[in-house]
Chains A and B, each alone.
Chain A
Protein backbone atom coordinates (compact mmCIF):
# COMPACT_ATOMS: atom_id res chain seq x y z
CA UNK A 1 0.00 0.00 0.00
CA UNK A 2 2.81 2.35 0.97
CA UNK A 3 4.74 1.61 -2.22
CA UNK A 4 1.66 1.97 -4.43
CA UNK A 5 0.83 5.29 -2.77
CA UNK A 6 4.38 6.55 -3.24
CA UNK A 7 4.46 5.51 -6.91
CA UNK A 8 1.09 7.16 -7.46
CA UNK A 9 2.32 10.34 -5.78
CA UNK A 10 5.45 10.49 -7.92
CA UNK A 11 3.51 9.86 -11.15
CA UNK A 12 0.84 12.43 -10.27
CA UNK A 13 3.46 15.05 -9.43
CA UNK A 14 5.39 14.48 -12.66
CA UNK A 15 2.23 14.70 -14.76
CA UNK A 16 1.12 17.91 -13.05
CA UNK A 17 4.60 19.32 -13.66
CA UNK A 18 4.43 18.27 -17.32
CA UNK A 19 1.13 20.08 -17.85
CA UNK A 20 2.52 23.26 -16.25
CA UNK A 21 5.64 23.36 -18.40
CA UNK A 22 3.66 24.46 -21.43
CA UNK A 23 6.61 25.64 -23.51
CA UNK A 24 8.31 22.25 -23.13
CA UNK A 25 5.06 20.47 -23.88
CA UNK A 26 4.44 22.54 -27.01
CA UNK A 27 8.07 22.17 -28.07
CA UNK A 28 7.71 18.41 -27.83
CA UNK A 29 4.74 18.54 -30.19
CA UNK A 30 6.06 21.16 -32.58
CA UNK A 31 9.27 19.20 -33.27
CA UNK A 32 7.60 16.18 -34.95
CA UNK A 33 5.14 18.32 -36.88
CA UNK A 34 7.97 20.50 -38.15
CA UNK A 35 9.71 17.40 -39.44
CA UNK A 36 6.51 16.05 -40.92
CA UNK A 37 5.35 19.24 -42.61
CA UNK A 38 8.49 21.21 -43.44
CA UNK A 39 11.17 18.55 -43.97
CA UNK A 40 8.63 15.94 -45.11
CA UNK A 41 7.16 18.21 -47.79
CA UNK A 42 10.61 19.06 -49.11
CA UNK A 43 11.80 15.44 -49.17
CA UNK A 44 8.61 14.27 -50.88
CA UNK A 45 9.96 15.75 -54.10
CA UNK A 46 13.36 14.05 -54.03
CA UNK A 47 12.96 10.81 -52.04
CA UNK A 48 12.36 7.58 -53.96
CA UNK A 49 11.23 4.93 -51.48
CA UNK A 50 10.51 1.20 -51.59
CA UNK A 51 6.85 0.52 -52.43
CA UNK A 52 6.44 3.94 -53.97
CA UNK A 53 5.12 5.57 -50.78
CA UNK A 54 5.68 9.26 -50.15
CA UNK A 55 8.45 10.39 -47.81
CA UNK A 56 5.85 11.82 -45.43
CA UNK A 57 4.04 8.49 -45.24
CA UNK A 58 7.39 6.71 -44.78
CA UNK A 59 8.60 9.04 -42.05
CA UNK A 60 5.29 9.14 -40.17
CA UNK A 61 5.97 6.08 -37.92
CA UNK A 62 9.45 7.47 -37.22
CA UNK A 63 8.01 10.86 -36.29
CA UNK A 64 5.52 9.22 -33.90
CA UNK A 65 8.47 7.46 -32.26
CA UNK A 66 10.43 10.74 -32.25
CA UNK A 67 7.66 12.48 -30.33
CA UNK A 68 7.46 9.65 -27.84
CA UNK A 69 11.26 9.33 -27.51
CA UNK A 70 11.81 13.00 -26.73
CA UNK A 71 8.79 13.22 -24.41
CA UNK A 72 9.70 10.14 -22.39
CA UNK A 73 13.46 10.61 -22.27
CA UNK A 74 13.41 14.30 -21.43
CA UNK A 75 10.86 13.74 -18.67
CA UNK A 76 13.00 10.94 -17.26
CA UNK A 77 16.27 12.84 -17.59
CA UNK A 78 14.63 15.76 -15.73
CA UNK A 79 15.29 13.63 -12.64
CA UNK A 80 18.60 15.47 -12.59
CA UNK A 81 16.67 18.65 -11.63
CA UNK A 82 15.21 16.82 -8.65
CA UNK A 83 18.66 15.62 -7.69
CA UNK A 84 20.12 19.12 -7.88
CA UNK A 85 17.25 20.86 -6.08
CA UNK A 86 16.74 18.39 -3.24
CA UNK A 87 13.47 16.72 -4.21
CA UNK A 88 15.14 13.43 -5.06
CA UNK A 89 16.63 13.17 -1.57
CA UNK A 90 13.14 13.60 -0.14
CA UNK A 91 11.80 10.81 -2.34
CA UNK A 92 14.68 8.48 -1.58
CA UNK A 93 14.12 8.99 2.16
CA UNK A 94 10.53 7.75 1.88
CA UNK A 95 9.73 4.30 3.31
CA UNK A 96 9.15 2.94 -0.21
CA UNK A 97 12.61 4.17 -1.22
CA UNK A 98 14.48 3.90 -4.48
CA UNK A 99 12.48 1.14 -6.25
CA UNK A 100 9.30 3.20 -5.91
CA UNK A 101 11.12 6.31 -7.10
CA UNK A 102 12.39 4.54 -10.21
CA UNK A 103 9.02 2.94 -11.02
CA UNK A 104 7.16 6.20 -10.43
CA UNK A 105 9.50 8.26 -12.57
CA UNK A 106 9.52 5.63 -15.32
CA UNK A 107 5.72 5.40 -15.42
CA UNK A 108 5.35 9.19 -15.51
CA UNK A 109 7.93 9.56 -18.28
CA UNK A 110 6.30 6.75 -20.27
CA UNK A 111 2.87 8.39 -19.94
CA UNK A 112 4.27 11.72 -21.19
CA UNK A 113 6.01 9.95 -24.07
CA UNK A 114 2.92 7.95 -24.95
CA UNK A 115 0.69 11.04 -24.90
CA UNK A 116 3.01 13.05 -27.13
CA UNK A 117 3.32 10.16 -29.55
CA UNK A 118 -0.45 9.57 -29.51
CA UNK A 119 -1.15 13.19 -30.43
CA UNK A 120 0.98 12.73 -33.56
CA UNK A 121 -0.60 9.34 -34.20
CA UNK A 122 -4.03 11.00 -34.37
CA UNK A 123 -2.89 12.72 -37.57
CA UNK A 124 -2.25 9.40 -39.30
CA UNK A 125 -5.37 9.61 -41.54
CA UNK A 126 -3.97 12.83 -43.07
CA UNK A 127 -0.45 11.58 -43.75
CA UNK A 128 -0.32 7.80 -43.75
CA UNK A 129 -3.85 6.44 -44.16
CA UNK A 130 -4.31 3.11 -42.37
CA UNK A 131 -7.23 1.10 -40.94
CA UNK A 132 -8.34 1.56 -37.33
CA UNK A 133 -6.62 -1.71 -36.43
CA UNK A 134 -3.33 -0.10 -37.51
CA UNK A 135 -3.91 2.74 -35.08
CA UNK A 136 -4.60 0.25 -32.30
CA UNK A 137 -1.43 -1.66 -33.13
CA UNK A 138 0.36 1.69 -33.27
CA UNK A 139 -0.83 2.42 -29.73
CA UNK A 140 0.60 -0.90 -28.58
CA UNK A 141 3.92 -0.18 -30.27
CA UNK A 142 3.85 3.31 -28.78
CA UNK A 143 3.32 1.96 -25.26
CA UNK A 144 6.35 -0.32 -25.56
CA UNK A 145 8.41 2.45 -27.17
CA UNK A 146 7.51 4.92 -24.43
CA UNK A 147 8.33 2.47 -21.65
CA UNK A 148 11.74 1.61 -23.11
CA UNK A 149 12.52 5.29 -23.82
CA UNK A 150 11.54 6.24 -20.27
CA UNK A 151 13.88 3.63 -18.81
CA UNK A 152 16.70 4.70 -21.14
CA UNK A 153 16.14 8.26 -19.94
CA UNK A 154 16.38 7.18 -16.31
CA UNK A 155 19.54 5.23 -17.08
CA UNK A 156 21.08 8.38 -18.57
CA UNK A 157 19.96 10.39 -15.52
CA UNK A 158 21.28 7.80 -13.07
CA UNK A 159 24.74 9.32 -12.80
CA UNK A 160 24.00 12.89 -13.90
CA UNK A 161 24.48 15.31 -11.04
CA UNK A 162 24.10 18.69 -12.70
CA UNK A 163 21.44 20.28 -14.88
CA UNK A 164 24.25 21.92 -16.84
CA UNK A 165 24.84 18.57 -18.55
CA UNK A 166 21.25 18.43 -19.74
CA UNK A 167 21.70 20.06 -23.17
CA UNK A 168 24.85 18.02 -23.79
CA UNK A 169 22.97 14.81 -23.08
CA UNK A 170 20.33 15.69 -25.67
CA UNK A 171 23.01 16.21 -28.31
CA UNK A 172 25.12 13.22 -27.35
CA UNK A 173 22.37 10.69 -26.57
CA UNK A 174 19.00 11.63 -28.03
CA UNK A 175 19.98 12.77 -31.50
CA UNK A 176 22.30 9.82 -32.25
CA UNK A 177 19.63 7.38 -31.03
CA UNK A 178 17.15 8.98 -33.40
CA UNK A 179 19.45 9.45 -36.39
CA UNK A 180 20.79 5.86 -36.29
CA UNK A 181 17.39 4.22 -36.06
CA UNK A 182 15.76 4.29 -39.46
CA UNK A 183 13.17 6.75 -38.19
CA UNK A 184 13.98 9.45 -40.72
CA UNK A 185 15.59 7.45 -43.54
CA UNK A 186 16.02 3.72 -44.25
CA UNK A 187 19.02 2.08 -42.56
CA UNK A 188 19.56 -0.10 -45.62
CA UNK A 189 21.51 2.66 -47.36
CA UNK A 190 23.82 3.32 -44.42
CA UNK A 191 27.48 2.21 -44.20
CA UNK A 192 27.92 -1.17 -42.51
CA UNK A 193 29.25 0.34 -39.26
CA UNK A 194 26.15 2.51 -38.86
CA UNK A 195 23.91 -0.41 -39.83
CA UNK A 196 25.55 -2.48 -37.07
CA UNK A 197 24.95 0.35 -34.62
CA UNK A 198 21.35 0.59 -35.75
CA UNK A 199 20.83 -3.09 -34.96
CA UNK A 200 21.80 -2.56 -31.30
CA UNK A 201 19.91 0.72 -31.03
CA UNK A 202 16.60 0.20 -29.15
CA UNK A 203 15.01 3.06 -31.10
CA UNK A 204 15.49 1.05 -34.32
CA UNK A 205 13.16 -1.58 -32.87
CA UNK A 206 10.68 1.09 -31.76
CA UNK A 207 10.51 2.45 -35.31
CA UNK A 208 10.39 -1.00 -36.87
CA UNK A 209 7.50 -2.04 -34.61
CA UNK A 210 5.63 1.13 -35.54
CA UNK A 211 6.20 0.36 -39.23
CA UNK A 212 4.64 -3.07 -38.59
CA UNK A 213 1.51 -1.26 -37.37
CA UNK A 214 1.37 0.80 -40.57
CA UNK A 215 2.10 -2.22 -42.81
CA UNK A 216 5.31 -0.65 -44.10
CA UNK A 217 8.44 -2.60 -45.11
CA UNK A 218 10.25 -3.77 -41.93
CA UNK A 219 13.60 -5.27 -41.01
CA UNK A 220 12.65 -7.47 -38.02
CA UNK A 221 9.67 -9.59 -37.02
CA UNK A 222 7.13 -8.05 -34.64
CA UNK A 223 8.00 -10.70 -32.04
CA UNK A 224 11.66 -9.78 -32.19
CA UNK A 225 10.77 -6.11 -31.88
CA UNK A 226 8.58 -6.70 -28.83
CA UNK A 227 11.23 -8.87 -27.17
CA UNK A 228 14.00 -6.35 -27.91
CA UNK A 229 12.02 -3.50 -26.36
CA UNK A 230 10.93 -5.56 -23.36
CA UNK A 231 14.54 -6.61 -22.80
CA UNK A 232 15.72 -3.00 -23.14
CA UNK A 233 13.21 -1.87 -20.53
CA UNK A 234 14.14 -4.61 -18.05
CA UNK A 235 17.91 -4.33 -18.52
CA UNK A 236 17.79 -0.52 -18.32
CA UNK A 237 15.76 -0.76 -15.11
CA UNK A 238 18.31 -3.15 -13.57
CA UNK A 239 21.27 -0.98 -14.59
CA UNK A 240 19.54 2.15 -13.34
CA UNK A 241 18.85 0.52 -9.99
CA UNK A 242 22.54 -0.33 -9.72
CA UNK A 243 23.81 3.09 -10.75
CA UNK A 244 21.16 5.43 -9.41
CA UNK A 245 22.32 5.87 -5.82
CA UNK A 246 25.06 3.60 -4.48
CA UNK A 247 24.08 4.62 -0.93
CA UNK A 248 20.70 2.96 -1.36
CA UNK A 249 21.91 -0.14 -3.14
CA UNK A 250 22.35 -2.51 -0.24
CA UNK A 251 18.95 -2.20 1.37
CA UNK A 252 17.96 -5.51 2.90
CA UNK A 253 21.32 -7.08 2.22
CA UNK A 254 23.74 -8.44 4.78
CA UNK A 255 25.24 -6.10 7.34
CA UNK A 256 28.16 -4.36 5.61
CA UNK A 257 30.10 -4.59 8.91
CA UNK A 258 30.45 -8.27 8.16
CA UNK A 259 32.60 -7.64 5.11
CA UNK A 260 35.17 -5.11 3.95
CA UNK A 261 34.12 -2.05 1.94
CA UNK A 262 34.32 -2.57 -1.81
CA UNK A 263 35.16 0.05 -4.38
CA UNK A 264 31.49 0.46 -5.31
CA UNK A 265 30.58 1.29 -1.73
CA UNK A 266 32.99 4.19 -1.58
CA UNK A 267 31.15 7.43 -0.97
CA UNK A 268 30.69 10.02 -3.68
CA UNK A 269 33.16 12.85 -3.63
CA UNK A 270 30.39 15.45 -3.90
CA UNK A 271 28.61 14.26 -0.77
CA UNK A 272 28.13 16.84 1.97
CA UNK A 273 30.47 17.27 4.90
Chain B
Protein backbone atom coordinates (compact mmCIF):
# COMPACT_ATOMS: atom_id res chain seq x y z
CA UNK B 1 0.00 0.00 0.00
CA UNK B 2 1.43 3.40 -0.95
CA UNK B 3 2.07 6.02 1.75
CA UNK B 4 -0.60 8.74 1.72
CA UNK B 5 0.68 12.28 1.12
CA UNK B 6 1.91 14.19 4.15
CA UNK B 7 -0.51 16.99 3.24
CA UNK B 8 -3.35 16.99 0.77
CA UNK B 9 -5.77 19.89 0.65
CA UNK B 10 -8.60 20.73 -1.69
CA UNK B 11 -10.16 24.18 -1.70
CA UNK B 12 -9.08 24.71 1.91
CA UNK B 13 -10.25 28.11 3.05
CA UNK B 14 -10.82 30.20 6.11
CA UNK B 15 -12.74 33.41 6.76
CA UNK B 16 -12.43 35.74 9.74
CA UNK B 17 -15.86 37.36 9.79
CA UNK B 18 -16.18 39.04 6.41
CA UNK B 19 -12.43 38.81 5.73
CA UNK B 20 -11.44 35.92 3.47
CA UNK B 21 -7.97 35.11 4.83
CA UNK B 22 -7.48 31.97 2.76
CA UNK B 23 -9.64 31.47 -0.32
CA UNK B 24 -9.04 27.96 -1.62
CA UNK B 25 -5.73 26.22 -1.06
CA UNK B 26 -4.94 23.16 -3.16
CA UNK B 27 -1.74 21.70 -1.83
CA UNK B 28 0.00 18.36 -2.15
CA UNK B 29 3.05 17.62 -0.04
CA UNK B 30 4.35 14.09 -0.59
CA UNK B 31 5.80 12.22 2.39
CA UNK B 32 9.40 13.34 2.92
CA UNK B 33 9.11 16.45 0.75
CA UNK B 34 10.36 19.95 1.58
CA UNK B 35 7.79 22.56 0.57
CA UNK B 36 8.03 26.32 1.06
CA UNK B 37 4.96 28.49 1.52
CA UNK B 38 5.91 31.99 0.49
CA UNK B 39 4.03 35.23 0.23
CA UNK B 40 3.75 38.73 1.63
CA UNK B 41 2.43 39.45 5.12
CA UNK B 42 -1.31 38.78 5.22
CA UNK B 43 -1.16 36.37 2.28
CA UNK B 44 -2.71 33.56 4.32
CA UNK B 45 0.39 31.50 5.15
CA UNK B 46 -0.12 31.43 8.91
CA UNK B 47 -3.83 30.72 8.49
CA UNK B 48 -3.04 27.80 6.18
CA UNK B 49 -0.55 26.40 8.68
CA UNK B 50 -2.91 26.79 11.64
CA UNK B 51 -5.63 25.00 9.67
CA UNK B 52 -3.27 22.12 8.92
CA UNK B 53 -2.18 22.08 12.56
CA UNK B 54 -5.86 21.70 13.64
CA UNK B 55 -5.64 24.93 15.65
CA UNK B 56 -8.22 26.61 13.42
CA UNK B 57 -11.31 25.03 11.90
CA UNK B 58 -11.67 25.41 8.12
CA UNK B 59 -14.50 27.50 6.72
CA UNK B 60 -14.50 25.36 3.57
CA UNK B 61 -12.58 22.67 1.75
CA UNK B 62 -10.78 19.60 3.00
CA UNK B 63 -7.33 18.85 4.37
CA UNK B 64 -5.75 15.52 5.15
CA UNK B 65 -2.52 14.82 6.98
CA UNK B 66 -1.24 11.35 6.09
CA UNK B 67 -4.80 10.53 5.14
CA UNK B 68 -6.38 11.79 8.39
CA UNK B 69 -8.97 14.56 8.12
CA UNK B 70 -8.03 17.72 10.05
CA UNK B 71 -11.63 18.24 11.10
CA UNK B 72 -12.75 14.76 12.05
CA UNK B 73 -9.49 13.08 13.05
CA UNK B 74 -7.68 15.80 14.93
CA UNK B 75 -6.00 13.50 17.42
CA UNK B 76 -4.60 11.27 14.66
CA UNK B 77 -3.37 14.36 12.82
CA UNK B 78 -1.72 15.84 15.91
CA UNK B 79 0.21 12.67 16.62
CA UNK B 80 2.02 13.01 13.28
CA UNK B 81 2.80 16.74 13.60
CA UNK B 82 5.64 18.83 14.94
CA UNK B 83 4.86 22.55 15.06
CA UNK B 84 6.88 25.73 15.24
CA UNK B 85 4.63 28.76 15.50
CA UNK B 86 5.53 32.26 14.38
CA UNK B 87 6.04 33.28 18.01
CA UNK B 88 8.29 31.17 20.22
CA UNK B 89 6.38 28.78 22.50
CA UNK B 90 8.76 28.67 25.43
CA UNK B 91 8.12 29.26 29.11
CA UNK B 92 10.72 31.72 30.35
CA UNK B 93 10.31 30.59 33.97
CA UNK B 94 11.35 27.03 33.12
CA UNK B 95 14.80 25.84 32.14
CA UNK B 96 15.47 24.61 28.62
CA UNK B 97 15.30 21.01 29.78
CA UNK B 98 12.08 21.62 31.73
CA UNK B 99 10.53 23.19 28.64
CA UNK B 100 11.41 20.10 26.62
CA UNK B 101 10.12 17.77 29.33
CA UNK B 102 6.86 19.71 29.32
CA UNK B 103 6.63 19.40 25.53
CA UNK B 104 7.33 15.67 25.77
CA UNK B 105 4.47 15.31 28.24
CA UNK B 106 2.18 17.13 25.81
CA UNK B 107 3.14 14.52 23.22
CA UNK B 108 2.09 11.80 25.66
CA UNK B 109 5.62 10.64 26.48
CA UNK B 110 6.65 9.51 29.94
CA UNK B 111 9.28 7.53 31.81
CA UNK B 112 12.41 6.34 29.98
CA UNK B 113 10.98 7.33 26.57
CA UNK B 114 10.58 10.90 27.79
CA UNK B 115 14.09 11.05 29.20
CA UNK B 116 15.60 9.62 26.02
CA UNK B 117 13.58 11.96 23.75
CA UNK B 118 14.57 15.04 25.77
CA UNK B 119 18.24 14.04 25.87
CA UNK B 120 18.27 13.42 22.11
CA UNK B 121 16.53 16.73 21.39
CA UNK B 122 19.04 18.63 23.54
CA UNK B 123 21.88 16.89 21.76
CA UNK B 124 20.38 17.39 18.30
CA UNK B 125 19.99 21.14 18.79
CA UNK B 126 23.34 21.60 20.55
CA UNK B 127 21.63 22.83 23.70
CA UNK B 128 23.73 20.78 26.14
CA UNK B 129 25.44 23.75 27.79
CA UNK B 130 22.17 25.63 28.10
CA UNK B 131 19.93 22.78 29.27
CA UNK B 132 19.85 23.98 32.88
CA UNK B 133 19.54 27.65 31.99
CA UNK B 134 16.20 29.47 32.49
CA UNK B 135 14.72 30.00 29.03
CA UNK B 136 14.19 33.72 29.67
CA UNK B 137 17.97 34.17 29.74
CA UNK B 138 18.40 32.82 26.20
CA UNK B 139 18.92 34.99 23.13
CA UNK B 140 16.30 34.94 20.37
CA UNK B 141 18.37 32.50 18.33
CA UNK B 142 18.72 29.99 21.13
CA UNK B 143 15.05 30.31 22.00
CA UNK B 144 14.18 29.45 18.43
CA UNK B 145 16.50 26.46 18.58
CA UNK B 146 14.66 25.28 21.68
CA UNK B 147 11.45 25.65 19.67
CA UNK B 148 12.83 23.47 16.88
CA UNK B 149 14.16 20.94 19.39
CA UNK B 150 10.68 20.86 20.93
CA UNK B 151 8.96 20.37 17.59
CA UNK B 152 11.25 17.47 16.63
CA UNK B 153 11.29 15.91 20.11
CA UNK B 154 8.76 13.16 19.38
CA UNK B 155 10.18 12.56 15.87
CA UNK B 156 7.07 13.62 13.95
CA UNK B 157 6.44 12.63 10.34
CA UNK B 158 5.53 16.15 9.33
CA UNK B 159 6.98 19.44 10.51
CA UNK B 160 5.03 22.65 10.00
CA UNK B 161 7.22 25.65 10.63
CA UNK B 162 5.90 29.21 10.46
CA UNK B 163 8.86 31.49 9.77
CA UNK B 164 11.26 29.41 11.88
CA UNK B 165 14.27 31.62 11.18
CA UNK B 166 12.72 35.07 11.34
CA UNK B 167 14.99 37.59 13.05
CA UNK B 168 17.85 35.13 13.51
CA UNK B 169 21.51 35.63 12.67
CA UNK B 170 23.02 33.49 9.88
CA UNK B 171 24.64 31.11 12.39
CA UNK B 172 21.37 30.20 14.09
CA UNK B 173 19.57 30.02 10.75
CA UNK B 174 22.19 27.56 9.56
CA UNK B 175 21.82 25.47 12.73
CA UNK B 176 18.06 25.25 12.28
CA UNK B 177 18.28 24.24 8.63
CA UNK B 178 20.90 21.64 9.51
CA UNK B 179 18.56 20.08 12.08
CA UNK B 180 15.73 20.02 9.56
CA UNK B 181 17.94 18.53 6.84
CA UNK B 182 19.04 15.80 9.25
CA UNK B 183 15.43 15.00 10.14
CA UNK B 184 14.59 14.69 6.46
CA UNK B 185 17.64 12.60 5.61
CA UNK B 186 17.47 10.23 8.57
CA UNK B 187 13.73 9.93 9.10
CA UNK B 188 12.14 11.02 5.86
CA UNK B 189 10.26 13.80 7.67
CA UNK B 190 8.16 16.03 5.42
CA UNK B 191 8.59 19.76 6.04
CA UNK B 192 6.23 22.62 5.23
CA UNK B 193 7.75 25.98 6.08
CA UNK B 194 7.17 29.66 5.47
CA UNK B 195 9.90 32.25 5.28
CA UNK B 196 10.63 35.75 4.09
CA UNK B 197 14.26 34.83 3.42
CA UNK B 198 13.65 33.62 -0.11
CA UNK B 199 17.08 32.02 -0.48
CA UNK B 200 15.97 29.53 2.21
CA UNK B 201 13.32 28.24 -0.19
CA UNK B 202 15.82 27.48 -2.98
CA UNK B 203 16.47 23.88 -1.81
CA UNK B 204 12.71 23.16 -1.53
CA UNK B 205 11.15 20.46 -3.68
CA UNK B 206 8.29 22.83 -4.34
CA UNK B 207 7.42 26.43 -3.59
CA UNK B 208 3.85 27.61 -3.22
CA UNK B 209 3.36 31.35 -3.61
CA UNK B 210 0.36 32.83 -1.82
CA UNK B 211 -1.01 36.33 -2.26
CA UNK B 212 -4.30 37.78 -1.11
CA UNK B 213 -5.38 34.44 0.31
CA UNK B 214 -4.92 32.42 -2.87
CA UNK B 215 -2.23 30.39 -4.59
CA UNK B 216 -0.66 32.43 -7.37
CA UNK B 217 2.07 29.94 -8.30
CA UNK B 218 3.16 26.47 -7.32
CA UNK B 219 6.19 24.81 -8.83
CA UNK B 220 9.80 23.89 -8.25
CA UNK B 221 12.11 26.84 -7.51
CA UNK B 222 13.91 26.22 -10.82
CA UNK B 223 10.66 26.33 -12.80
CA UNK B 224 9.52 29.48 -11.00
CA UNK B 225 12.85 31.15 -11.78
CA UNK B 226 12.71 29.99 -15.38
CA UNK B 227 9.25 31.49 -15.78
CA UNK B 228 10.72 34.91 -14.95
CA UNK B 229 13.37 34.57 -17.67
CA UNK B 230 16.94 33.37 -18.04
CA UNK B 231 18.27 36.68 -16.83
CA UNK B 232 16.88 39.77 -15.18
CA UNK B 233 17.88 43.30 -16.08
CA UNK B 234 17.53 45.52 -13.03
CA UNK B 235 17.62 49.26 -13.62
CA UNK B 236 17.28 52.38 -11.53
CA UNK B 237 17.36 56.11 -12.25
CA UNK B 238 15.18 58.73 -13.94
CA UNK B 239 15.61 57.02 -17.32
CA UNK B 240 14.76 53.54 -16.01
CA UNK B 241 11.13 53.58 -17.12
CA UNK B 242 12.00 54.70 -20.65
CA UNK B 243 14.64 51.97 -20.94
CA UNK B 244 12.34 49.33 -19.49
CA UNK B 245 9.65 50.20 -22.04
CA UNK B 246 12.19 50.15 -24.83
CA UNK B 247 13.31 46.70 -23.71
CA UNK B 248 9.71 45.61 -23.65
CA UNK B 249 9.62 46.20 -27.37
CA UNK B 250 12.25 43.51 -27.83
CA UNK B 251 10.95 40.00 -28.27
CA UNK B 252 13.18 38.63 -25.54
CA UNK B 253 11.32 40.24 -22.61
CA UNK B 254 9.35 37.70 -20.59
CA UNK B 255 8.41 39.61 -17.43
CA UNK B 256 8.21 43.30 -16.66
CA UNK B 257 8.06 44.48 -13.08
CA UNK B 258 8.07 47.90 -11.47
CA UNK B 259 9.79 47.87 -8.08
CA UNK B 260 10.12 50.54 -5.39
CA UNK B 261 13.45 51.68 -6.82
CA UNK B 262 13.14 51.01 -10.52
CA UNK B 263 12.32 48.18 -12.90
CA UNK B 264 13.14 44.50 -13.27
CA UNK B 265 12.83 43.01 -16.73
CA UNK B 266 13.02 39.26 -17.22
CA UNK B 267 14.76 38.21 -20.44
CA UNK B 268 15.06 35.02 -22.43
CA UNK B 269 17.47 34.23 -25.24
CA UNK B 270 19.72 36.85 -26.88
CA UNK B 271 21.10 39.44 -24.50
CA UNK B 272 23.26 41.46 -26.93
CA UNK B 273 20.39 43.64 -28.11
CA UNK B 274 19.44 44.34 -24.53
CA UNK B 275 22.97 45.29 -23.55
CA UNK B 276 23.34 47.54 -26.56
CA UNK B 277 20.09 49.33 -25.82
CA UNK B 278 20.92 49.71 -22.15
CA UNK B 279 24.43 51.05 -22.75
CA UNK B 280 23.06 53.95 -24.79
CA UNK B 281 20.13 54.75 -22.48
CA UNK B 282 20.32 58.12 -20.67
CA UNK B 283 19.40 58.67 -16.98
CA UNK B 284 20.37 55.19 -15.76
CA UNK B 285 22.06 55.26 -12.33
CA UNK B 286 22.25 51.52 -11.84
CA UNK B 287 22.01 48.68 -14.31
CA UNK B 288 22.69 45.01 -13.72
CA UNK B 289 22.10 41.86 -15.69
CA UNK B 290 21.98 38.76 -13.51
CA UNK B 291 20.44 35.28 -13.40
CA UNK B 292 16.77 35.19 -12.37
CA UNK B 293 16.20 34.50 -8.66
CA UNK B 294 13.33 33.21 -6.58
CA UNK B 295 12.88 36.77 -5.35
CA UNK B 296 12.14 37.87 -8.95
CA UNK B 297 9.53 35.11 -9.21
CA UNK B 298 8.11 36.19 -5.85
CA UNK B 299 7.75 39.81 -6.92
CA UNK B 300 6.46 38.88 -10.37
CA UNK B 301 3.71 36.68 -8.93
CA UNK B 302 2.72 38.38 -5.70
CA UNK B 303 2.73 42.08 -6.60
CA UNK B 304 -0.79 43.48 -7.06
CA UNK B 305 -1.45 43.95 -10.76
CA UNK B 306 1.21 41.41 -11.73
CA UNK B 307 -0.88 38.34 -11.09
Contact = CB atoms under 8 A, between A and B. Distances in A.
B40 to A, nearest CB: 11
B72 A255 contact: yes
Interface residues of B, number: 48
Contacts of B93: 16-17, 20-21
B102 A267 contact: no
Interface stretch (B43-51, B167-175, B251-259, B281-289): B43-51
Nearest to A254: B72
B53 interface: yes
A261 interface: yes
A89 B89 contact: yes
A9 B101 contact: yes
B108 interface: yes
Given A1-B108, A2-B108, A6-B108, A93 B91 contact: no
Contacts of A268: 16
Nearest to A2: B108
B53 A93 contact: yes
B137 interface: no
B107 A93 contact: no
B215 to A, nearest CB: 16
Closest 4 CB pairs of A and B: A9-B105, A2-B108, A94-B106, A90-B89
A87 B89 contact: yes
B147 to A, nearest CB: 9
A266 B59 CA distance: 9
A95 B107 contact: yes
A90 B147 CA distance: 11
A190 to B, nearest CB: 41
Given A17-B93, A96-B108, A90 B46 contact: no
A43 interface: no
Interface in A7-31: 8-10, 12-13, 16-17, 20-21
A247 B56 contact: yes
Given A10-B102, A16-B93, 8 more contacts: A12-B102, A13-B94, A86-B89, A95-B78, A95-B107, A250-B71, A255-B71, A269-B17
Contacts of B88: 86
B85 interface: yes
A87 B15 contact: no
Contacts of A5: 105, 108-110
14 contacts: A5-B110, A9-B104, A9-B105, A10-B102, A16-B93, A20-B93, A21-B93, A90-B85, A93-B54, A256-B57, A267-B15, A272-B86, A273-B41, A273-B42
A89 B109 CA distance: 19
Contacts of B81: 93
Interface in A71-106: 85-87, 89-97
A116 B75 CA distance: 36
Nearest to B58: A256
A257 B107 CA distance: 29
Contacts of A20: 93
Contacts of A9: 101-102, 104-106
B204 interface: no
Contact of B85 (A8, A89, A94): A89
B55 interface: yes
Interface in B110-164: 110
Contacts of A17: 91, 93-94
A272 B14 CA distance: 11
A251 interface: yes
B245 interface: no
